[in-house]
Amino acid sequence: MQLGGSSEEAWQRLARAGTPAKSTSSPFGFPTGSAWLMTLVVLVSLITPVLTSGCSARTATACEGRVFLEDRAAPAAQGPELNSEDQVSLDRMRGKPVVVNFWGSWCGPCREEAPVLSSAWRELSETVAFLGVDIRDERSAARSFAREFGLGFPHIFDDDARIAAAWAVPSPPATFVVDAEGRLVARLVGTLTPADLECMLSLAR
């Protein structure tokens, strides 16, 4: 059978070729008619999960370029809030994904990524929580930094880097994503980009 002309005509010829006949198989042993259609349905049902699995694998691989994948309970993060000195706790934020960002006003790369965090917080605050952890800083300098970049979410003042040590952060910036159940799913040590954050949050869904 020649498949000249448009693709629509080709599909029509294939459909006509599958019209039920007296026999359900061709002389060569291939199914025809309704048997051919049933075979097609079975093949599609078998192939679809494989294709879907492949897409998930590609997403994970893309994240692995700069982002480390995690699957463990998130370490504790609790301490005085930078501006109010009220106690802030990561545990109290359960129920939606949390972006945990370690920073310092003295950190150059932190200044580069601060607009990314500010923009993401404003756009995603209804569905994603944000928590900053200010490391080895002076409170006045840290407060000025947060005001300058519009980082209006809570920040723990970690002046002795106790929380940073528990999270294995030698120096900022470092960003983590914790899912709604409190499990750590992704981490990035280095300057955060919008693509990084989007990829990390996709792992928390």
H/E segment holding residue 118: helix 108-124
Q: Which CATH class is domain 68-202?
A: alpha beta
| Full 3-state SS string of 32-87 | CHHHHHHHHHHHHHHHHHHHHHHHHHHHHHHHCCCCEEEEEECCCCEEEECCCCCE
| Mean pLDDT along residues 28-50 | 45
pLDDT-derived band of residue 140, with 50, 70 and 90 as boundaries? very high
Per-residue model confidence (pLDDT) at position 58:
35
Give me the mean pLDDT over the 144-173 stretch. 97
* Domain residue limits, the chain: 7-63, 68-202
The one-character DSSP state at 156 is E
Q: What share of the chain is helix, strand, coil (3-state, %, to 5)?
A: 45, 20, 35
Is the pLDDT confidence value at 39 over 80? no
Which position has the token pair 């802030």? 88
Q: In the numeric block, which tokens belong to residue 181? A: 């159940």
Look at residue 64 in the predicted model and tell me its pLDDT: 60
Write down the pTM of the prediction.
Answer: 0.70
* Residue 82 contacts residue 146 (beta carbons within 8 Å): yes
The fraction of the chain above a pLDDT of 70, given in percent, is: 68
Q: Phi/psi at 174 (nearest 5 deg)?
A: -150, 140
- pLDDT for 170-197, tens place per residue? 999 999 999 999 999 999 999 999 999 9
- Cα–Cα distances (Å) from 89 to 49, 70, 83, 86, 129, in that order, read 40, 21, 15, 10, 12
The rounded distance, in Å, linking the Cα atoms of 195 and 112 is 15
* Percent of the chain with pLDDT strictly greater than 90: 63
- How many angstroms separate the CA atoms of 37 and 171, rounded? 61
CA distance to 97, 133, 175, 189, per residue, from 74 (Å): 12, 14, 13, 16
The tens digit of pLDDT for each residue in 61-106 reads 456 677 888 899 999 999 999 998 799 999 999 999 999 999 999 9
- The answer, yes or no, to whether residue 22 has pLDDT greater than 50, is no
- Is the predicted pLDDT of residue 119 greater than 60, yes or no? yes
Question: What pLDDT is recorded for position 3?
Answer: 41
> 9-18, 28-37, 56-65, 96-105: which range is least confident on average?
9-18
Contacts of 41 (CB under 8 A, 6+ apart): none
